[in-house]
Structure 1
Amino acid sequence: MSLSQSLQQKLLQKLSPQQIQLMKLLQVPTAILEERIKEEMEENPALEQGEEGHDDEFEPDVVDETKEDEFEKDGSEDDYDQIDISDYVHEGDDEVGDYRLKDDNYPEADENRTIPHKVETSFIELMMQQLGMLTISDEKKRVAEQLIGSLDDDGYLRREIGSIIDDLAFRQNIETDEEELSELLLQIQQFDPPGVGARNLQECLLLQLERKMDQGQPVQLALKVLEKYFDEFTKKHYEKILRGLGIDDDE
């Protein structure tokens, strides 16, 4: 059932037979209404036509509840169907359609709508993925996994190499040495992001600059500063650095 039909049915249910008769009379032109009154008076002599100027004799009609009940019982349902309420409602479901078009107002769609979750790869997972691309033995891979597991949240390796060697020996029964561990660490330091696996800030900056060697002399000069004058650099002793390198401010 459309919105207009449903509203029409509700309005009709609220109209009494007297209201229906009144609405029908209001729709009749005055001339035709007077003609009908004359016809009723001719057919029913008991009716009398009131004269103008006798307002003091006019008394409001008192509705007899018994007659009203009889009228309601005898009233035909056809009277309800003759009322045109098209002026009060719009045909069709346009209003419902407009509602649905605004902000996707579909209850079922709202219930079934799922919120996509962003899948993020953790730092350790990223390291393990890159480790899987290396061509090394299974034993060396286990050693490299121990190194990756020893990295902190910032990607630094702050643990001593000797401590990692001990962990491998006691927990995984893997014998290794500092040389093998250092070689694997150099491979891990080539992973992304640049600087991962560094043991301090100086090494981290150097690893990042080494990825930019193709950018020419400025990068090479920066590497010299970090390698030879890192302490002066952190303390902002730039004049001392310039004198040591034999360059001026422009360079």
Structure 2
Amino acid sequence: MKPSLVLKMGQQLTMTPQLQQAIRLLQLSTLDLQQEIQEALESNPMLERQEEGEDFDQSEAAGEGDESSGSGTMETTFKETSVATNEMADESEWSERIPSDSELPVDTAWEDIYQTSASSLPSNDDDEWDFTTRTSAGESLQTHLLWQLNLAPMSDLDRLIALAIIDGIDTDGYLQESLEDIHASLDPELEVDLDEVEVVLRRVQQFEPAGVAARNLRECLLIQLAQLPATLPLLGEAKRLVGDYLDLLGSRDYAQLMRRMKIKEDELKPIIELIQTLHPRPGSQIESGEAEYVVPDVIVRKHNERWLVELNQEAVPRLRVNPQYAGFVKRADSSADNTYMRNQLQEARWFIKSLQSRNETLMKVATQIVEHQRGFLEYGEEAMKPLVLHDIAEAVGMHESTISRVTTQKFMHTPRGIYELKYFFSSHVSTAEGGECSSTAIRAIIKKLVAAENAKKPLSDSKIAGLLESQGIQVARRTVAKYRESLGIAPSSERKRLL
């Protein structure tokens, strides 16, 4: 068989640059979109923000035609703007009109209006003022401990040991390395004994937050109890319980605990309440990351018994094509400058049109979600209906992948709070009457049942499944356990409490 050239005709779908840009903008979150718009404004001179109170024709700003393209399909006419230029005065005359600083009247001092860094500091007699709470933004636990170490009176050798100890503390405040490992990591020439490492550890354990640098939960709680006032009632019993019977407390074996400590239930309850005031993860009190802000894309509100869906206009700035720069583009000019301006003008129109397409798609999807989940807006999570991407895709006439892009990292502000659009989608469970119940509604019912349970006899997963079945919702015990874990609810054995 000899090789030969064959000419075939066929059709193939190709994504144009405009479509690729529209899809990319569609899947961006609000914060990422704001950054994308800012980059477009800085790189494209044809784009500009619409200031408050300015009116312009959207069809002009996002017109599909190009005056310089030569196709003649559509032309966009921009209004000519006349720029009035005033003759500036001579530099000498202008400088004479400006008064000097000494001639300007002064009726107040700067410190009377604005606080300086020195004046903003509190006085020395303010005992309640805390420097770290006022100045530490996003301070880590390691930084907080090092700051206290620099203020502690220690020898150079002890400070070096303390640094090795602080390096081994995790974000929860526990010392993850053993004293032997810390001792082995030190320079042998220093001739440090293991007892010295333990002594320095005791000093680090006195740092804030209370309980830091503990090697286990029992030691962490004992350190916190030791720092409480000695006159505190039941302090000795709490130390005894933590030191000897912490395992029984963790397993909620209150009967064995009362038998071992030889106390009654009314005496055990205040001891446990005192222990519950302690922090099992002291490092979490200091560790704080950067704040994450959620900007809603859609706002839902009720007006005259109707639910209205609106775009958050403050989240995304409105853009337009600069009419003055666009007027400089000449149709018949093929110079480099004119070609550059023509390309920038076309890119600006594409960008604005992609933003409009994103807003229209987001409004369609959000409107259908609100229409479908009106029961949630009226009555809460228990009235949430089952919803999948296919339902919204059929309603708006789009592909499921498009709906997935629209609902990812997009948030809706409702009277019940701010929710991601994906929150309104959930699977369904069949009911005894042949209907359907969403998994979100089942979670809400489980949460409600657990909140109303008897603390002495908490509901097991099988009991919760039986209560749901009595309401017509057929859910297996394993499904109940899965939903319970997703809500962060502990098993029944760990929810047992003393009344």
> What TM-score results when the alignment is normalised by the length of structure 2?
0.26
Greater fraction of residues in strand:
2
> What TM-score results when the alignment is normalised by the length of structure 1?
0.49
Greater fraction of residues in helix:
1
Work out which structure has the larger RCO, using CA pairs closer than 8 Å and 6 or more positions apart in sequence: 2
